[in-house]
Amino acid sequence: MTERMMTLAAVEQLCLRALTSAGAGEDNAAAVARSTMLAERDGIRSHGLLYVPIYAEHVRCGKVDGKALPVVSQPRSGAVVVDAGTGFAHPAIDAGWDRFIAAARQNGIAAMTVFNSYNCGVLGHHAERIAEAGLLGLCTTHAPASIAPPGGRVPVIGTNPFALGVPEVGGVALVLDQSASKVAKSEILLRSREGRPIEPGWAIDEHGAATLDPAAALKGSMLPAGGHKGFGVGLLVEILASCLSGAVLSKDASPFSGTAGGAPRTGQCFIAFDTSAFSTAFSHQVASLLDAIAAQANARLPGAGRQAARQRTEGEGVLVDADLVNRIDALCR
């Protein structure tokens, strides 16, 4: 694979041009382009430029309405609901964001659900955004089914990540972002496109046998992290992001890849806490907890790898697959 260096601004502009060329509205494309840039900035290639051709393809075929106008409602003082209108999740989240944050500050706690939406990018970035507002954030999103229940082989839930954004005075103390599966499905997709095998214990094929072939894994089932406990985490996310939001279940959602099946109509659920409404000792307790982790030799806080990548790429730019960039450039023309 030939690589080339790009600035983060160039990554964002490339994605913006590709999506608007495909027919997405400027505001919708801008929200997705920023998310793509942030993924590349933090070294999460599986959610970065790799997805841009898929996004563009889905706008062109109508699997995503690139010109969707999200509809925001607030049925209760602490409840914000957004209908993404089968458009991208990013602009739908943005549409309800200010009401959501204001509701959390007013009530001490608030939730925002999004339905009729699509892939929301790196979930941890939304949790970090809540923490940047000085609130404790818990975010969930589900996805088309890719994990079978323990003992089964037919997927019923998605990789279903959750993310926690923890504030500290003047910034963000911690962002925890993990999925119910041993690895993000986009990582298997990346390995498939690069012709590399996956790792042992990541997935089974459609017959229930262990596999290192990413193509067979994509036809089979990903394995949950921690066995039945990981599947339980995935169910928790499914209840919040799908059932509570009114989105379709993961088992009924069309794939985030390919053109078949129509709009996925998946959902998200974000919860924000104003910690001062519950405890005056929150920041002190968090600092003590994180200090106890950091004080141990070779111990690493969740998100440390992303922070290291961020510090590097903000100054140097990012190395990207030159062939992928050429494919995206072609979409712009």
Q: Tell me the pLDDT tens digit for each residue of 224-253.
A: 988 889 999 999 999 999 999 999 999 999
Q: For residues 325 and 319, give the distance between their C-alpha atoms in angstroms, rounded to a whole number.
A: 11
Residues of the chain with CATH 1.10.1530.10: 1-61+304-333
Q: Which of these is catalytic: 12, 35, 40, 47?
A: 47
Q: Give residues with Cβ within 8 angstroms of 114, minimum separation 6.
A: 82, 84, 89, 92, 93, 96, 120, 245, 247, 267, 268, 269
Could you tell me where in the chain the CATH 3.30.1370.60 domains are found? 70-181+224-302
Judged against a pLDDT cut of 80, whether residue 1 lies above it is answered with no
From the candidates 181, 187, 242, 245, which is the catalytic residue? 187
Burial (CB < 10 A; 0-12, 13-18, 19+), residue 24, is: buried
Out of 46, 254, 257, 283, the active site residue is 46
pLDDT tens digits for 5-25? 999 999 999 999 999 999 999
Strands (E), 26-83: 71-76, 79-83
Determine whether 221 is an active site residue: no
Give residue-wise pLDDT tens across range 299-333: 999 999 999 999 999 999 999 999 999 999 998 97
- Strands 71-76, 79-83: pairing kind: antiparallel
- Nearest Cα to Cα of residue 283 among 139, 150, 142, 131: 131
| Residue of 7, 11, 44, 74 whose CA lies nearest to 187 | 44
Q: What is the pTM of this model?
A: 0.93
Q: Strand locations in 26-106, DSSP E? A: 71-76, 79-83
Sign of CA dihedral 154, 58, 138, 173: positive
Annotation marks residue 257 as catalytic: no
* Dist CA 147 CA 145 (whole Å): 6
pLDDT band, residue 147 (cuts 50/70/90): very high
Specify the pLDDT at position 225. 87
91, with CB counted inside 10 A (0-12, 13-18, 19+), is buried
Would you state the pLDDT for residue 227? 85
Does pLDDT of 193 surpass 90? no
pLDDT surpassing 80 at residue 186: no
Q: What percent of the chain has pLDDT over 70?
A: 100
Architecture, CATH, for domain 70-181+224-302: 2-Layer Sandwich (3.30)
Whether residue 68 has pLDDT greater than 90: yes
- More confident position, 256 or 65: 65
pLDDT at position 181, please? 86
Q: What is the mean pLDDT of residues 105-113?
A: 98
CATH 1.10.1530.10 fits 1-61+304-333, yes or no: yes
- The confidence band for 260, taking pLDDT boundaries of 50, 70 and 90, is confident
Give residue 328's pLDDT: 95
Question: Which of 227, 226, 220, 180 is closest to 198 using CA atoms?
Answer: 220
Write out the two tokens for 109: 């706690």
Burial environment of residue 123 by CB neighbours within 10 A (0 to 12, 13 to 18, 19 or more): buried
Q: Is the dihedral of CA 127, 129, 133, 134 positive or negative?
A: positive
Per-chain mean pLDDT for the chain: 94
Q: Is residue 47 annotated as part of the catalytic site, yes or no?
A: yes
Helical packing angle, 26-41 and 304-316, nearest 10°: 110
Give the confidence band of 184 by pLDDT, cuts at 50, 70, 90. Answer: confident
